[in-house]
């Protein structure tokens, strides 16, 4: 068992690093924070002209498909591909027993040194996972054979001719039953279905038993969260083409550089021989950056091998049903014990979380990072079940927000208190109260602000909390429905992990290029980077261009992992722009015959500070600053090009700062519950996020309202349903499994405040995943407030409401 003792953030500071306070702006904001800025990718996407990976078509290209297992757990006894190989139009067949891949493990690499650990995303199902296996461990798994043919239809028809003799094996779907001593062992030779003890997490802070002794009220409860789908709009695909010993690829994923690294390790191809393109992507939401899953790097490897075998370009594509197996990692059951004083001060929280197939967190971290609760203990256990590999737990927020929301709502109800008051009373960090945050702000140059207080005040006013909140089950509306309201809170996710690099180039005509690869996940980051460069460099936004699709330009911004986008990448482009600005001013100094310090840049024009009428367009400053031979064969001045890199630590704690999370968020919801049908009607959602600094206001708001619909769908409707008798997923389509849309729920009220307390550029913090992770657990408290009956079993479907009311 791994024990994780959580200490002060300051202990994370490394020797020789330095502290940074608020990232004070050194330039006037003209583009940063401006509304109505033309979105860089807006026209191409809105017009339908944007090219996605699935749009790539090459001369002579073949199409590949992979066999799917019809069983939840089975082993191939015999595989006959003879008829498929002879089928007209089939050009290459790759079997699991092919010498190129027989028994070869599908590796996942961290910085090229360490295989992904078993508890990491996609790995929890088997300690070793082969590229193409003869064993199926969930229904729908790609297994046994891959076929490349002239058309996708021919490849699919050929797969029907493959003859397989299967040996069906006992399977388990229920995570709790997987712990039974008589349950079939899913891993050969294992004593149980638990992941090994060293992968079981224990997180502790303080003395929980002492905390319960100090409590005047102790409550216990259990909550469950079922699996929901984790899939983007664009279905997975990859295109591979060989030219001699050089490989060219078009990939749909968040981390193309990592996939390039894995391919190099997997197939022994030098990385400089792999040319990778990452085009527009129809969403990805985390699973496309999973370095070890079948639907990403598994299909990459298969496409490359098939292309080599056929000596033709190959596109491997998955259809909706074939992709319908990636679910969120928050498939869990949680047991809670909470102690508090009668004034609302929480003295202890103990949790035991049971996860299926995936665990990256014990679920207590948000209570550590957000609260003054001194005594915490959480155990997380993961078991194997015959369901697909799970993706990220909504990164770090679920089950964290799930647990925090339920802890605070349950204890507030037990004490008969307003949950917003309990939140404010327990706000803090690592067992310390808000005075620690206030002291940190003063010592590090921040303007003292109480982020949570400001967020709650704005949200309460918008939703009319003081006028409309009431004790559970006490307000019936004129339409006969029961009225309910709920509130939750957390920190805004300020994850700044990772390292990125980018260059800023001022072209010969004065236009500017940002040179860096960066994958598209639909959150409008490129516009924001261009806004930063415009203000930092002093040029017009319309003079800037970025081409993020080619990985081989020499610079790679860190992967677009949700709220990581701005926290690290914003610093990268900011640094590069500042360096290019200094180069430009040094170059202009010769033109003006003045010191560089006497000059400034604004609206793509260099001018003398003391005499603004003395000015010159940037294009005139740089027009002869390219490396070319002049008329007499003498090299001219170098181009205006500079690059920067930036690295920060894991999970929102920049190692160079050691600062705590100080930006908070608050979410409010209002519902009506029909006690005759069990229907939950959402009537109002108010999201308040302290984003530190809104560099692109429309992007901030877009993430809030988009996350609202995602969260409501997961809370009320989205659920993957397996047949307990066969292990088959029953709703493997978007008719039986329905995503929420703006037609299903009302528009949300989205409010952001700017405290400058984040440690992204200009004091910004993340917004990308915050709303979608906060909303799902919030529906439980809202329904409870409406009907006075607890439903801590998510999603909250009508039958669960009626069961809670004793009507079924």
Three-class SS of 425-443: HHEEECCEEHHHHHHHHHH
Please tell me whether residue 271 adopts helix, strand or coil conformation: helix
Ranges in the chain, pLDDT < 70? 1-22, 107-129, 196-200, 230-232, 284-297, 326-330, 358-361, 390-399, 494-498, 559-564, 624-639, 647-659
Residues sharing a CB contact under 8 Å with residue 423, sequence separation 6 or more, in sequence order:
408, 452, 456, 487, 489, 666
- For the beta sheet containing 615-617, the strands, ordered from the edge strand earlier in sequence to the opposite edge, are 599-602, 605-608, 615-617
Pair 314, 337 in one domain: no
> Which of 325, 349, 381 is at the close of a domain?
325
Pair 320, 415 in one domain: no
pLDDT in tens, 443-475: 888 889 999 999 999 999 999 999 999 999 999
In-domain check, residue 20: yes
Domain count, the chain: 3
CB 45: neighbour CB atoms within 10 A? 15
Pair 590, 665 in one domain: no
In-domain check, residue 43: no
> Which of 620, 647, 674 is at the close of a domain?
647
In-domain check, residue 152: yes
Tokens of 281: 């992507």
> Are 463 and 749 a contacting pair, CB within 8 Å?
yes
| CATH number, domain containing residue 778 | 3.30.365.10
User: Please, what sign has the CA dihedral across residues 644, 650, 655, 658?
Assistant: positive
- Domain hosting 480: range is 328-495+652-804
Please tell me whether residue 320 adopts helix, strand or coil conformation: helix
pLDDT (0 to 100) of residue 17: 34
In-domain check, residue 35: no
pLDDT in tens, 98-141: 998 887 777 654 433 333 443 343 444 454 567 888 999 889 98
Pair 642, 688 in one domain: no
Cα separation of 209 and 490, whole Å? Answer: 25
pLDDT (0 to 100) of residue 331: 77
In-domain check, residue 633: yes
In-domain check, residue 554: yes
Pair 412, 524 in one domain: no
Please tell me whether residue 547 adopts helix, strand or coil conformation: coil
Pair 444, 356 in one domain: yes
Give the pTM: 0.91
pLDDT (0 to 100) of residue 443: 85
pLDDT (0 to 100) of residue 295: 52
Pair 459, 517 in one domain: no
Pair 103, 23 in one domain: no
Cα separation of 138 and 153, whole Å? Answer: 25
Pair 683, 793 in one domain: yes
In-domain check, residue 721: yes
In-domain check, residue 201: no
DSSP per residue over 232-264, as a string? Answer: -SSPPEEEEEEETTEEEEEE-SS-HHHHHHHHH
Pair 405, 474 in one domain: yes
Determine how β-strand 201-205 pairs with β-strand 2-5.
parallel
pLDDT (0 to 100) of residue 126: 52
DSSP state of 151: S
DSSP state of 660: P
Pair 144, 242 in one domain: yes
Pair 128, 253 in one domain: yes
SS3 content of the chain, % helix, strand, coil (to 5): 30, 25, 45
| CATH number, domain containing residue 268 | 3.90.1170.50
Cα separation of 621 and 585, whole Å? Answer: 9
CA dihedral 126, 130, 131, 136 (to 10 degrees): -60
> Which of 647, 670, 690 is at the close of a domain?
647
> Are 661 and 491 a contacting pair, CB within 8 Å?
yes
User: Please, what sign has the CA dihedral across residues 139, 145, 149, 154?
Assistant: negative
């Amino acid at each position: 068992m791994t024990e994780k003792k959580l200490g002060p953030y300051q202990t994370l500071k490394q020797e020789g690093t330095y502290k940074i306070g608020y990232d004070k702006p050194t330039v006037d904001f003209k583009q940063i924070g401006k509304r109505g800025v033309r979105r860089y990718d807006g026209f191409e996407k809105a017009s339908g002209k944007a090219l996605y990976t699935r749009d790539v078509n090459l001369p002579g290209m073949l199409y590949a498909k992979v066999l799917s297992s019809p069983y939840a757990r089975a082993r191939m006894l015999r595989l006959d591909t003879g008829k498929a190989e002879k089928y007209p139009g089939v050009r290459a067949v790759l079997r699991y027993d092919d010498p190129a891949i027989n028994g070869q493990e599908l590796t996942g690499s961290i910085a090229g040194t360490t295989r992904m650990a078993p508890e990491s995303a996609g790995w929890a199902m088997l300690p070793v996972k082969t590229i193409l296996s003869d064993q199926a461990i969930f229904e729908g798994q790609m297994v046994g054979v891959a076929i490349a043919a002239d058309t996708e239809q021919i490849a699919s028809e050929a797969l029907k001719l493959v003859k397989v003799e299967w040996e069906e094996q006992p399977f388990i779907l229920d995570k709790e039953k997987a712990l039974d001593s008589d349950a079939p062992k899913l891993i050969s030779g294992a004593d149980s279905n638990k992941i090994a003890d060293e992968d079981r997490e224990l997180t502790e802070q303080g003395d929980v038993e002492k905390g319960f002794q100090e409590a005047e009220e102790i409550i216990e409860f259990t909550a469950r969260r079922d699996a929901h789908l984790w899939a983007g709009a664009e279905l997975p695909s990859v295109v591979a083409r060989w030219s001699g010993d050089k490989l060219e690829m078009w990939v749909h994923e968040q981390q193309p550089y990592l996939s390039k690294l894995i391919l190099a390790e997997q197939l022994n191809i030098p990385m400089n021989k792999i040319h990778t393109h990452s085009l527009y992507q129809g969403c990805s939401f985390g699973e496309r950056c999973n370095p070890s899953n079948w639907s990403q790097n598994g299909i990459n490897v298969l496409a490359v091998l098939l292309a080599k075998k056929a000596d033709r370009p190959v596109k491997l594509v998955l259809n909706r049903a074939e992709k319908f197996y990636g679910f969120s990692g928050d498939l869990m059951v949680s047991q809670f014990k909470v102690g508090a004083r009668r004034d609302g001060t929480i003295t202890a929280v103990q949790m035991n979380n049971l996860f299926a197939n995936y665990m990256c967190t014990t679920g207590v971290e948000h209570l550590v990072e957000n609260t003054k609760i001194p005594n915490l203990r959480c155990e997380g256990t993961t078991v194997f079940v015959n369901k697909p590999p799970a993706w990220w737990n909504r990164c770090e927020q679920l089950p964290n927000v799930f647990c925090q929301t339920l802890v605070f709502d349950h204890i507030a109800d037990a004490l008969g208190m307003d949950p917003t008051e309990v939140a404010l009373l327990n706000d803090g960090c690592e067992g310390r109260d808000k005075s620690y945050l206030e002291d940190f702000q003063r010592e590090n140059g921040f303007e003292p602000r109480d982020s949570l207080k400001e967020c709650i005040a704005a949200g309460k006013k918008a939703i009319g909390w003081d006028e409309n909140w009431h004790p559970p089950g006490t307000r019936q509306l004129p339409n006969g429905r029961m009225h309910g309201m709920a509130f939750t809170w957390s920190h805004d996710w300020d994850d700044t992990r990772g390292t990125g690099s980018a260059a800023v180039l001022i072209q010969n005509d004065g236009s500017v290029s940002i040179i860096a690869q960066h994958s598209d996940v639909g959150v409008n980051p490129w516009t924001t980077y261009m806004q930063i460069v415009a203000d930092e460099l002093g040029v017009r936004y319309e003079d800037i261009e970025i081409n993020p699709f080619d990985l081989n330009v020499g610079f790679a911004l860190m992967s677009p992992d949700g709220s990581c986008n701005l926290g690290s990448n914003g610093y990268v482009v900011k640094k590069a722009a500042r360096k290019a600005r200094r180069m430009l001013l040094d170059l202009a100094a010769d033109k003006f015959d003045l010191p560089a310090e006497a000059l400034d840049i604004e609206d793509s024009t260099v001018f003398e500070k003391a005499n603004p009428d003395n000015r010159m367009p940037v294009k005139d400053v740089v027009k002869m600053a390219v490396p070319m031979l002049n008329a007499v064969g003498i090299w001219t001045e170098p181009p205006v090009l500079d690059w920067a890199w930036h690295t920060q630590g894991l999970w929102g704690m920049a190692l160079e700062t050691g600062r705590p999370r100080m930006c908070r968020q608050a979410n409010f919801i209002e519902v009506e519950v029909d006690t005759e049908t069990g229907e939950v009607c959402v009537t109002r959602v108010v999201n308040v996020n302290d984003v530190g600094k809104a560099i692109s206001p429309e992007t901030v708001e877009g993430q809030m309202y988009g996350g609202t619909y995602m969260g409501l769908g997961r809370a009320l409707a989205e659920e993957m349903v397996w047949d307990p008798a066969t292990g088959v997923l029953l709703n493997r389509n978007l008719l039986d499994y329905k995503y929420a849309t703006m037609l299903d729920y009302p528009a949300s009220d989205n409010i952001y405040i700017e405290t400058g307390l984040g440690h992204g550029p200009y004091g910004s913090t993340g917004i990308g995943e915050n709303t979608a992770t906060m909303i799902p657990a919030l529906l439980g408290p809202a329904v409870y407030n409406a009907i006075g009956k607890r439903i801590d079993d998510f999603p909250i479907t009508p039958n669960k409401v009626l069961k809670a009311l004793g009507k079924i």
